[in-house]
């Protein structure tokens, strides 16, 4: 790891003053569980690390009847244990429980979870975000078993690592971004982006912007997450599906289905949403939505198996939400 | 007079009981110091610059900028690499020693290597890449037997390269002072660690000191001092400072131990009576940059009358293979037992019945028959078993069987037993405790021999100043050290009995020890407490030697070789996701006389967990363009955790028949069968064979799709 300067501001104002306008010069640190690893891997080599652990207000969780507002620095465990979250959002609970390490839950934050960098093994061993060696893309002919099956026709072949990303997309959450005195709210599906160049990142955040809060609207919608995991301890899911819908006279309305670990961003399964909209949720309609979810997939040589996982994850998430 | 033979079962105070390991508390509380924990005054940290591509010609290495970097005290360039070829990623090109680990790291990035890329071979799944000389044999008339068979089953099987993945990386702290070199390495071979090193570091053998009290795993990868042992010593000599050089995880996984892969196409002929009559196996794999030995196929069922097998190695640009717990056996076992189970399924015969019906093709049919019955009982075979593919619903359950064997003869070992005038007892031997319980076993044997509690024994080991004991590998340690300790202790005891006999008014032959007393066998009331007895010795301790010489010890029935084991696995396969969950695993194992039932069972638990890991998760994956490991970390090089292993049941064979053979090694046997047993269970549940380990969702799904079970 390259030597760096460490700053621990006590307020957001101080923090903004310490952040550079250019990626790579400074990095924000929350729990550090991903950032420090990335620094050891020379994925990023900041001159200054700005910890947000001293900015107390960022850790608050406030629940009203209309929404739950979670500070970006709330730890995964704090979110997991929050009564309102438990009561309203099984989709969130399942996703956080999947990050099955006591250390990760107590140290990792919700903001860090959403902004963590891809785990693509080419990216993490020095081949850049677009996984190249001498200008040649490594994923198509290489070991693509954990890579994208959707949205992979450009240069980005990695998958978004966040488990909560698809959950927030399915739940229609908003993310609050602050820069100095300015603050803007961005819908979850617009927060994530597929980087256009090696220098871009996987969210719309600018280097000197801070994600301050996540706002979950309380709508009484049924919701659930299903994760296909092999190991039961700390590990990455192969594929996840998060769903949300309102039951209106026994029929599913406002169906939202988002997939994880299948694309460079959380992936909205539009065909699956359409397939279920207005239907009763049964084993058969859930399976049909699952089958529709793989529409438009373009797997590489070694990850075609993920199609089956998508079908199953969508079906099981829908059934779990109704249970 | 005491004799070295093991006491009769009913006369044992400690042998065979469940006894907690002596070093448990210091390990659990972090007081045990491993190589990495050794911190010496003024110590430097060394880090290796390694080759970034699997095949390169090195034209030059320029370390001048690194030498000037902050904190750097020395850079050692591997001069002999200049002009030479690199054959795998991880090969050392230079090493930096600096005041801090971070500085050493930073300096590595300043080393400039001038090189040309060369072609490399990484793919070991394609037999066409084989270059090695084929080995194999043909016995009987295979083709005729195939033609005459009721069923011929055919399958392809594969087990990839995995690594040793010791949680404690390879490496050492070395300190050169006053012309003497001290090493604190992580090693499986304390007594012989420095062998062959004196010339490279120019320090006489007698001035090299080695100390390794605790170890975080070796599994066959830590027999040698390795290149980094020499480098660390040279850096210490050069700087006059102690140097800590431990491999980092990526390099550890790439260069410090690979288990050869094995792929095979196998045909098995089954007669109308359900007997295997012929086997035809074509096997290949890679030992990386090292050699390749064909795994034994057929394994255990060596009596199959008609056998044709061929094995060939593929030299690849990956780190060299090293012995991995039971070298060749897990591979041979997996390929054979999977083919056997496929044959049973093809013939429509229940797997347990098929195994039993063919035991006369093995060299210990009675042992396996008895063990199969016990395992079947423990796993509930009767109620759970079904023919292949008879499961229903999305999650299907199945049972798999495998059997294995191992030698485990005690290795050459020397021991000093010391009885002090104050009654204290010390045992000294240059062996090592890899975490398996060697220290505890030595203590138990000594305590048993002297009729003392375990706490009364001081076990001194893990240092090359003590009598030579061989390297720990091949399950040879427990036999070696228990035999040498028993003999040494018996010799020392007899010397003590000579001293005590006049006091008790009998000949030494009339005396025995137990319960902290020395007494007359015929008249136990005529006794003296151990401590008082030792007080009669005068000022000098009694020191006697004992040596384990294999033939002599075997004649005394102190040790033996050759064991059998049976394992059964109960799994669930989610056929919609390909996820395999282990419900339960049963291991039934024979290892002769058991010194400590608890550490023996622990050894089997450990073997099962390691086996479950390679069955479900482990494989070394490589970047096809660079030859670097893609999963050179503990994130995607997955290991099983507690939640992944299901319920484990261990049954040790402890009856007189097994016990009377003496002590036999146990390190390797339990790790041999899990791959086969779990793969067979998955085939039984899913209705298709998943040809290659590990049994990951991607492989299971592809197999289910090919088998038409998933569309
Ligand atoms: C083996 C393993 C398995 C894992 N499995 C999962 C899994 O299944 N699902 C999953 O989701 N995660 C998983 N994780 C990752 C884990 O969840 C993340 O490391 C953790 O959530 C990151 O949180 P942190 O607070 O430590 O972030 P940090 O490491 O501090 O930060 C991560 C990134 O986010 C940026 N950042 C953090 N906070 C802010 C902010 N407020 N504003 C702007 N930028 C910010 C940082 O600059 C950095 O780039 C796994 C990790 C490991 C090692």
pLDDT digits (tens, 9 = 90+) for A137-159: 999 999 999 999 999 999 999 99
Residues B342 and B364 in one domain: yes
Number of domains into which chain B is organized: 2
Q: Which helix (H) or strand (E) holds B441?
A: helix B438-450
Nearest to A45 by CA among A16, A25, A22, A21: A25
- Could you count the other beta carbons within 10 Å of the beta carbon of residue B15? 25
Q: Do B449 and B547 have their domain in common?
A: yes
Preceding peptide of B694 cis, ω within 30° = yes
pLDDT at residue number B131: 86
Phi-psi region of A158 (alpha: psi -120 to 50; beta: other; left: phi over 0): beta
CA of A71 to the centre of ligand 1 (A): 15
Q: What is the CA radius of gyration of chain A?
A: 19
User: pLDDT for A171-226, tens place per residue?
Assistant: 999 999 999 999 999 999 999 999 999 999 999 999 999 999 999 999 999 999 99
Closest CA–CA distance from residue A2 to any residue of chain B (Å): 7
Of A141, A303, A305, which is closest to B624 when you measure between CB atoms? A141
Q: How far is A82 from A95, CA to CA, in rounded Å? A: 14
Residues B359 and B454 in one domain: no
CB pair distance less than 8 Å for A308 and B576: yes
Residue after which a domain boundary falls, among B505, B533, B555:
B555
- In DSSP notation, B637-689 reads S----GGGS-EEEEEE--SHHHHTT-B---SSGGGTSHHHHHHHHHHHHHSS-
Residue A212 alpha carbon, nearest atom of ligand 1: 41
Residue A98's pLDDT band (cuts 50, 70, 90): very high
Question: Do B624 and A142 count as a contact with CB atoms less than 8 A apart?
Answer: yes
Interface test with B, best of A39, A121, A122, A131 (most B CBs within 10 A): A121
Residue B636 within a domain: yes
As a whole number of angstroms, the distance between CA B431 and CA B477 comes to: 8
Domain range enclosing B510: 411-555
Instruction: Assess if residue B648 is contained within a domain.
Output: yes
- Judged by CB atoms closer than 8 Å, whether chains meet at B623 and A125 is answered as yes
**Residue B320 maps to a domain:** yes
Q: Do B644 and A231 touch (CB under 8 A)?
A: yes
Count of CB pairs separated by less than 8 Å, A with B:
87
In the structure encoding, which two tokens stand for residue B448, read together? 């048993």
| pLDDT, position A245 | 98
Residue A266 tokens, joined: 């959380």
> How many Cβ atoms are within 10 Å of A185's Cβ, its own excluded?
10
B401 and B418 share one domain = no
* Tokens found for residue B364: 């210990």
CA angle (B192, B198, B203) in 5-degree steps: 125
Q: What share of chain B is helix, strand, coil (3-state, %, to 5)?
A: 30, 25, 40
β-strand partners of B129:
none
Verify that B457 and B380 share a domain, yes or no.
no
Do B265 and B401 fall into the same domain?
yes
With a cut of 70, list the residues of chain B below it in pLDDT.
Answer: none
Say which CATH number the domain at B457 has.
3.30.365.10
pLDDT on residue B391: 86
Ligand 1 atom nearest to CA at A211: 42
Enumerate residues 6+ apart whose C-beta is below 8 A from B502.
Answer: none
B534, B555, B576 — which closes off a domain? B555
3-state secondary structure of A144: coil
Distance CA B475, CA B647 (A): 25
Q: Same domain for B471 and B428?
A: yes
Q: How large is the ipTM? A: 0.97
For chain A, give every domain's residue range: 5-322
Coil vs helix vs strand at A172 = coil
Please report the pLDDT score of residue B711 as a whole number: 80
From the centroid of its chain, how far is CA B545?
29
**B432 domain residue, yes or no:** yes
B33 and B213 Cβ atoms separated by less than 8 Å? yes
Residues near A224 by Cβ (< 8 Å), separated by ≥ 6? A90, A91, A94, A242, A243, A317, A318, A320, A321
Of B674, B211, B228, which Cα lies nearest the Cα of B433?
Answer: B211
The distance of Cα B190 from the centroid of its chain, to the nearest Å, equals: 16
**DSSP code of B172?**
E
Task: Indicate whether B612 and B628 sit together in one domain.
Answer: yes
| Per-residue confidence (pLDDT) for residue B276, from 0 to 100 | 98
Residues B351 and B262 in one domain: yes
Tell me the shortest Cα–Cα distance from B644 to chain A, in angstroms. Answer: 6
User: Quick one: which of B218, B149, B160, B130 has its CA closest to B334?
Assistant: B160
- Of the candidates A282, A264, A268, A292, the residue with the CA atom closest to the CA atom of residue A319: A282
Q: Are residues B416 and B404 in the same domain?
A: no
Cα gap B128→B125, rounded to integer Å:
9
Sort strands B56-62 and B579-589 into parallel, antiparallel or unpaired.
Answer: unpaired
Cβ neighbours of residue B695 closer than 8 Å, sequence gap 6 or more: B580, B615, B616, B678, B679, B682
Q: Are B299 and B377 within one domain?
A: yes
Last residue of a domain, one of B555, B575, B607: B555
Say how far apart CA B327 and CA B304 lie, in whole Å. 23
Q: Which residues are near ligand 1 (CB < 6 Å)? A: A 27-35, 52, 72, 98-99, 104, 107-109, 111-113, 115-117, 161-163, 205, 210-211, 234-237; B 635
Judge whether B281 lies within some domain.
yes
d(CA B429, CA B486): 12
The whole-number pLDDT of residue A13 equals 97
Query: Domain for residue B344, yes or no?
Result: yes
Q: Assess if CATH 3.40.50.720 describes domain A5-322.
A: no
Q: Do A133 and B626 touch (CB under 8 A)?
A: yes
Where are the extended beta strands (E) located within B135-292? 135-139, 151-159, 162-163, 171-177, 180-185, 208-210, 243-246, 258-259, 262-270, 276-285
What 3-state DSSP class applies to A246? strand
Confirm whether B79 is domain-assigned: no
Q: Are residues B358 and B478 in the same domain?
A: no
Q: What is the pTM of this model?
A: 0.98
Work out whether strand A251-260 and strand A222-228 pair parallel, antiparallel, or are unpaired.
unpaired
Over range A115-129, report the average pLDDT. 98
Beta bridge partners of B245: B172
**Is residue B66, in this structure, part of any structural domain at all?**
no
């Amino acid at each position: 790891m390259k030597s760096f300067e460490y700053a621990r501001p006590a307020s957001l104002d101080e923090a903004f003053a310490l952040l550079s306008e250019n990626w790579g010069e400074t990095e924000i640190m929350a729990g550090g569980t991903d950032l420090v690893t990335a620094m050891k891997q020379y994925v990023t080599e900041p001159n200054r690390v700005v910890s947000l652990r001293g900015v107390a207000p960022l850790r608050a969780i406030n629940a009203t009847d209309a929404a739950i507002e979670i500070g970006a620095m709330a730890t995964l465990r704090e979110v997991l244990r929050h009564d309102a979250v438990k009561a309203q959002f099984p989709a969130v609970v399942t996703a956080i429980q999947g990050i099955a390490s006591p250390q990760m839950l107590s140290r990792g934050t919700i903001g860090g979870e959403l902004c963590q960098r891809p785990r693509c093994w080419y990216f993490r061993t020095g081949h850049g975000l677009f996984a190249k060696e001498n200008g040649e893309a490594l994923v198509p002919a290489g070991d693509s078993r954990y890579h994208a099956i959707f949205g992979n026709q450009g240069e980005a072949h990695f998958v978004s690592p966040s488990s909560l990303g698809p959950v927030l997309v399915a739940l229609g959450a908003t993310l609050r971004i602050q820069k100095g005195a300015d603050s803007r709210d961005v819908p979850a599906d617009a927060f994530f982006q597929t980087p256009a160049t090696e220098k871009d990142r996987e969210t719309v955040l600018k280097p000197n912007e801070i994600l301050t809060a996540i706002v979950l609207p309380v709508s009484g919608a049924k919701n659930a997450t299903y994760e296909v995991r092999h190991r039961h301890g700390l590990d990455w899911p192969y594929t996840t599906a998060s769903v949300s819908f309102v039951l209106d006279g026994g029929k599913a309305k406002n169906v939202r289905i988002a997939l994880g670990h299948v694309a460079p961003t959380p992936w909205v399964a539009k065909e699956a949403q359409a397939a279920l909209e207005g239907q009763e949720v049964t084993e058969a309609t859930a399976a049909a939505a699952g089958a529709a979810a793989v529409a438009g997939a373009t797997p590489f040589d070694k990850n075609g198996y993920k199609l089956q996982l998508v079908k199953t994850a969508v079906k099981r998430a829908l059934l779990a939400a109704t249970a | 007079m005491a004799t070295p033979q093991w006491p009769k079962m009913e006369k044992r105070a400690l042998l065979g009981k469940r006894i907690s390991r002596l070093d448990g508390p210091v390990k659990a509380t972090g007081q045990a110091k491993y190589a990495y924990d050794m911190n010496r005054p003024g110590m430097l940290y060394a880090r290796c610059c390694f080759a970034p591509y699997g095949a390169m010609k090195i034209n030059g290495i320029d370390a001048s900028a690194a030498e000037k970097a902050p904190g750097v005290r020395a850079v050692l360039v591997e001069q002999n690499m200049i002009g030479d070829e690199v054959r795998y990623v991880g090969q050392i090109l230079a090493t930096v020693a600096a005041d801090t680990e971070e500085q050493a790291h930073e300096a590595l990035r300043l080393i400039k290597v001038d090189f040309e890329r060369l072609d490399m071979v990484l793919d070991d799944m394609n037999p066409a890449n084989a270059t090695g000389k084929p080995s194999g044999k043909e016995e009987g008339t295979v083709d005729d037997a195939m033609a005459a068979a009721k069923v011929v089953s055919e399958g392809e099987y594969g087990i990839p390269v995995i690594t040793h993945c010791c949680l404690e990386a390879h490496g050492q702290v070395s300190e050169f002072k006053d012309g003497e070199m001290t090493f604190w390495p992580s090693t499986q071979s304390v007594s012989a660690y420095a062998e062959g090193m004196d010339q490279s570091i120019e320090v006489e053998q007698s001035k090299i000191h080695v100390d390794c009290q605790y170890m975080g795993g070796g599994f066959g990868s830590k027999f040698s001092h390795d290149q980094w042992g020499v480098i660390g010593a040279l850096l210490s000599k050069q700087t006059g400072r102690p140097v800590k050089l431990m491999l980092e995880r990526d390099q550890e996984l790439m260069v410090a131990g690979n288990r050869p892969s094995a792929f095979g196409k196998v045909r098995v002929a089954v007669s109308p009576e359900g007997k295997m009559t012929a086997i035809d196996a074509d096997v290949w794999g890679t030992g990386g940059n090292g050699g390749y030995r064909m795994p034994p196929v057929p394994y255990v069922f060596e009596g199959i009358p008609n056998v044709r097998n061929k094995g060939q190695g593929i030299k690849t640009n990956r780190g060299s293979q090293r012995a991995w717990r039971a070298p060749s056996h897990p591979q041979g076992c997996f390929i054979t037992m999977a083919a056997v189970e496929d044959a049973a399924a093809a013939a429509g015969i229940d797997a347990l019945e098929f195994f039993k019906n063919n035991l006369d093709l093995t060299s210990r049919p009675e042992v396996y028959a008895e063990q199969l019955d016990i395992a079947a009982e423990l796993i509930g075979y009767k109620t759970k078993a079904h023919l292949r593919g008879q499961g229903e619903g999305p999650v299907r359950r199945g049972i798999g069987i495998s059997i294995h064997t191992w030698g485990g003869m005690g290795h050459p070992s020397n021991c000093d037993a010391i009885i002090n005038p104050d009654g204290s007892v010390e045992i000294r031997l240059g062996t090592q405790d890899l975490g398996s319980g060697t220290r505890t076993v030595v203590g138990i044997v000594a305590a048993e021999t002297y009729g003392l509690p375990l706490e009364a024994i001081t076990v001194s080991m893990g240092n090359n100043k003590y009598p030579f004991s061989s390297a720990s590998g091949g399950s040879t340690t427990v036999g070696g050290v228990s035999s040498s300790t028993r003999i040494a202790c018996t010799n020392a005891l007899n010397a003590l009995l000579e001293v005590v006999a006049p006091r008790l008014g009998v000949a030494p032959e009339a005396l025995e020890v137990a319960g902290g007393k020395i007494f007359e066998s015929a008249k136990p009331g005529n006794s003296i407490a151990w401590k008082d007895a030792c007080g009669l010795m005068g000022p000098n301790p009694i020191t006697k030697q004992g040596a384990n010489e294999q033939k002599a010890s075997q004649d005394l029935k102190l040790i033996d070789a050759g064991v059998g084991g049976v394992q059964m696995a109960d799994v669930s396969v989610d056929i919609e996701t390909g996820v395999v969950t282990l419900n339960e695993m049963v291991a039934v194992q024979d290892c002769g006389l058991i010194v400590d039932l608890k550490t023996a069972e622990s050894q089997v638990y450990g073997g099962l967990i390691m086996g479950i890991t390679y069955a479900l998760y482990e494989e070394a994956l490589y970047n096809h363009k660079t030859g670097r490991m893609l999963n050179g970390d503990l994130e995607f090089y997955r290991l099983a955790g507690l939640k992944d292993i299901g319920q484990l049941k261990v049954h040790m064979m402890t009856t007189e028949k097994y016990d009377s053979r003496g002590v036999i090694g146990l390190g390797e046997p339990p790790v041999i069968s899990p791959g086969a047993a779990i793969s067979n269970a998955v085939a039984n549940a899913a209705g298709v064979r998943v040809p290659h380990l590990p049994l990951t969702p991607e492989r299971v799904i592809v197999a289910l799709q090919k088998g038409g079970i998933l569309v």
